[in-house]
Amino acid sequence: MSIYSLAQALQLYLKESRVGDQLQALQIQDAWESIVGKTIAKYTDSVRLQGDKLFIHTQVGPLRNELQFQRSTIIKKGVKLDNLIQIAHNVEIGSQTVIAAQTGISGSTKLGQKIMIGGQAGIAGHLTIADGVKIAGGAGVTKNLDGAGKSYAGFPAEEAKQSLKTQVYTRQLPELEKRVKELEKLVTQLLQNGSK
C-alpha cells in the first residue's frame, strides 16, 4: 500500500471520481462571466465541459453565430493574452505563448509553442509560426516564420538582426541621395569637359 499526502490523496480521488468533473464544471461556470464579460454571460443559458470540449448554449442568434465562427479557434494551456487582442477564426495558439496588447492575428494562422509577440504586431492569415519565435512589437508578419527560436522585427517582418540593418540603411538614404546627386553632377561636368 502506498503512502500519500493529503493533497495527493485528494487529487487522486478527484481524478478517479466524477466529483472532479463536477468541480471543474463549477469552476467554468464561475469563470465564464470574467472571461466573456457581463453582457455575453447574461445571454448565455448554459456552459459545460464534456471531455475536452466546451459546450455553450444561447438563444441569441448573433451570439450563437459568433460562437459558431470561433469554435475552431484553439488557445492551448498556459497562453497569456494581454488586452485588446484580435484573434480571428480558426486560429491555433500553442501552449505557453505570450501575446501583448493590440496584436491582431488573422484567420487560420497556426502559432507554435512558447512564442512571444510584442504589442501592436500584426500577423496575416493562413500562416505558420514556429515554436519559440519572438516577434517584436509593431512587426508585420506576412509570411511563414519557420526559424524556431529566432527573433523577427519590422514590416514586413524579417530576422531581427537584418531588420536593424535595414533600419540603419533607411536612415542613411537622404545622405546617400545627396551624395549620388553630387556624383551625377560631377560625372556630367566631366563628360561635358571631355567632349570639348
- Report helix, strand or coil for 69: helix
Which positions ≥6 away from 16 have C-beta within 8 Å?
A: none
Q: What is the DSSP pairing of strand 53-57 with strand 46-50?
A: antiparallel
Neighbours of 180 (CB within 10 A): 10
Which among 84, 130, 90 is positioned nearest to 109, based on CA atoms? 90
Pairs from 54-61 (Cβ < 8 Å, separation ≥ 24):
54/28
**Residue type for position 84:** L
- Given 89, 110, 114, 150, which residue is catalytic? 89
Torsion angle, alpha carbons of 48, 94, 122, 34, to 10:
30
89 catalytic? Reply is yes
HEC profile for 114-162? CCEECCCCEECCCCEECCCCEECCCCEECCCECCCCCEEECCCCEEHHH
Catalogue the active-site residues.
89
